[in-house]
Amino acid sequence: MPSKSTDRPNPHPADRELLKLREAIDAIDHDMVALLKERQEQVDRVVALKRAHGLPVYHPAREENLISEKRRTARAVGLDPDFLEDIFRRILRQSRVEQTAQLARQGTKPGARLLLVGGGGVMGDYLARWFNEAGYRVRILEHDDWDQAARLCDGIDLALLSVPIDRTAEVVERLSPLLPEDCVLSDITSVKAAPMAAMLEAHPGPVVGLHPLFGPATTSLDKQVVIASPGRRATECQWLLDQFTAWGAIVISSDPEEHDDAMAVIQALRHFATFSFGKFLFEQDVPLDRTLEFSSPIYRLELGMVGRLFAQDPSLYSEIIKASPERRQLLRDYLASLQDSLALIETGDKAAFESVFRKVAAWFDPFSGQALRETTFLIDKLIERF
């Protein structure tokens, strides 16, 4: 019978030392969690101070200075600067989200009365919840409520329109005679020139156009962009912009024409190109699951953006893409450019293709470095997840 000492393998000589090292690592991890908790307590004090003085959540210069300092520290102690930056950007974002969640309950104009026209829609309902949680008194006007419109408009401080683009002018004309003269009139459509003109013509009081560049699935307004187009009596509209800032959003001022020119590319052209790509995959009956098995991370990312578009409301994208004659003309120009590109391929002239490629690359050059850094980051995150 074998002796008791041979019933189990002898422990490796390094096992005891490994156990000690792992216990030390566990202790360090415990200390890190404790330090993060202590950091959060300091953040809570910062929130109280910002709430008391109406200060914004996001301070870009401070954050970038902090990241630069952490990268220098990482190099000095022999750590990967990208690794440390990744950690601290995640900590900073969590800090902003925590601050925003607490500040969301504070209104910049406490007790103000708001009328959300179209507040029963998805985006209207989303904004209604934010305003309600911040202590505003929110009223909703839907298409079946016009017999109650005069009562709903009585004494309101803000009328915010969340209606289809092609109905905005009609709603403005119908609503304006019922509004108090000092009521702020605003909209959240993705075009600004025509709605702003309609609001300024119909309402003699303060007017500001808004375009929130986020959807109702957004859980935090941290670093979300809101475009504001000043119309009339900007000082009286400022509390509304300050509210979005208090929620963590970045408010960018733009005149309606500049906004519409930018959105024609940022939204209409991009969504149309994504729609067309998805439609082509559908028509070709491409086996998506199988392509993902063969795919690079960048393909998965691109296909994810296509799938994201088709997971949402088609009427929203229909409105955005066909919102104006200028947008439709831009799409015709895009299709003509695609035909030119196809002709370039069909000639088989490799040198001609490379010549055009280099010209476009030179035009993109000021952005190319940033594009490589940002997409590399996204790809790395995608690899970590999948």
Say if residue 250 is in the same domain as residue 265: no
On whether both 281 and 371 belong to a single domain, the answer is yes
Distance CA 263, CA 189 (A): 11
- Verify that 119 and 191 share a domain, yes or no: yes
In this structure, what CATH number is given to the domain that contains residue 160? 3.40.50.720
Q: Is residue 2 part of a domain?
A: no
Note whether residue 9 is domain-resident. no
Query: What DSSP letter does each residue of 94-141 carry, written as one string?
Result: HHHHHHHHHHTT--SSTT-EEEEETTTSHHHHHHHHHHHHTT-EEEEE
Same domain? 249 vs 269: no
Same domain, 96 and 124: no
Q: How far is CA 19 from the centre of its chain?
A: 46
CATH code of the domain in which 363 resides: 1.10.3660.10
Instruction: Please state, as a whole number, how many other Cβ atoms lie within 10 Å of the Cβ of residue 291.
Output: 13
**How many domains in the chain?**
3
The reply to whether 1 falls in a domain is: no
Question: Alpha helices of 184-269 — where are they, by DSSP H?
Answer: 193-202, 234-246, 256-263
Residue 73 belongs to domain with CATH number? 1.20.59.10
Boundary (domain end) residue, out of 228, 254, 280: 254
Does residue 19 form part of some domain? no
131, 239: one domain: yes
Within a domain: residue 360?
yes
HSE, side-chain direction, 13 A CA sphere, residue 236:
15
Is residue 8 domain-resident?
A: no
Q: Which of 254, 274, 293 is the last residue of a domain?
A: 254
* Residues 243 and 289 occupy one common structural domain: no
Distances in Å between the Cα of 5 and the Cα atoms of 8, 9, 10, 11 are 7, 8, 8, 11
CA-to-CA dists, residue 357 to 12, 148, 335, 353, 370, angstroms: 60, 60, 18, 6, 19
Residue 311 lies in domain: 260-385
248 and 156 housed in the same domain: yes
DSSP for 289-301, please give it: HHHHHH--HHHHH
Render each residue's pLDDT in the chain as its tens digit; 386 residues. Answer: 455 545 556 667 788 888 889 999 999 999 999 999 998 888 888 877 876 776 766 666 677 888 888 899 999 999 898 888 888 888 888 777 777 666 556 678 888 999 999 988 889 999 999 999 888 999 999 989 999 999 999 999 999 999 988 899 999 999 999 999 999 999 999 999 999 999 999 999 999 999 999 888 888 888 899 999 999 999 999 999 999 988 888 999 999 999 999 999 999 999 999 999 999 999 999 999 899 888 888 888 899 999 999 998 888 888 888 888 889 999 999 999 999 999 999 998 999 999 999 999 999 999 888 888 888 888 887 777 66
336 in any annotated domain: yes
Cα separation of 152 and 167, whole Å?
20
Residues 245 and 174 in one domain: yes
Last residue of a domain, one of 103, 134, 167: 103
Mark whether 134 and 241 lie in a shared domain. yes
Evaluate whether 191 touches 323 at the Cβ level (below 8 Å): yes
The answer to whether residues 293 and 235 belong to one domain is no
Domain membership flag for residue 161: yes
Domain match, 231 and 272 both: no
